[in-house]
Structure 1
């Protein structure tokens, strides 16, 4: 699966301790929460730490984040409550600039911006192409 191969090219430090996945056929929804978490953090880093920089990239990441939101809501009964619970559980509601703008979390922005647009587009398209219960899969 292309989306899981995407994780294999991201340095382990950028994956915040995640083990690299073994490419294999996945169930619909598998890996959505993992990739989604990285997308959400990259979006937040852009908004909080790098406003006005990399405008096209930040808009694209924002578009991906909306698609992950829609997927998670659609595949968890149509309520945004599951999405909010998930995001809160991942510490995505943090306003701690040190946590978001420095260290491993901040490094994920630098890693994702280097991924060619076409490759990231394909990975997001692929992982969101089949509806199913959103899960982390093997990426963490």
Structure 2
């Protein structure tokens, strides 16, 4: 089975600040994720986890290497990123910042499809996603 997400020798280097040398945040990362797999990035603070995650969704453009979605190199135009982000999302490590406590689960799950204009049969989409995640019964 081919990877749905692949990273080849990814590098992200930030320009120098206040006379310091450039900061190499990600250095030569290789990664493959196949359909149905879950990947967690674990490491000490400042090791590049968030920068790598941002590069995977196109929020940070790598200074070297490649990100491929379904075998195709990630494009960085607004249209290419919008299409890519319909299938790839970033989950922040701070649940307080990632989830709105005033929002119910249905609306939290529906937010992505709404942002991408996928509002036809939205209820069915959300219920199916909740069922796939093992949250049953989804109507609760």
TM-score of the aligned structures, taking structure 2 as reference length = 0.29
The structure that is strand-richer by fraction is 2
The structure that is helix-richer by fraction is 1
Structure index of larger Rg: 2
Higher relative contact order (CA 8 A, sep 6+): 1
TM-score of the aligned structures, taking structure 1 as reference length = 0.29
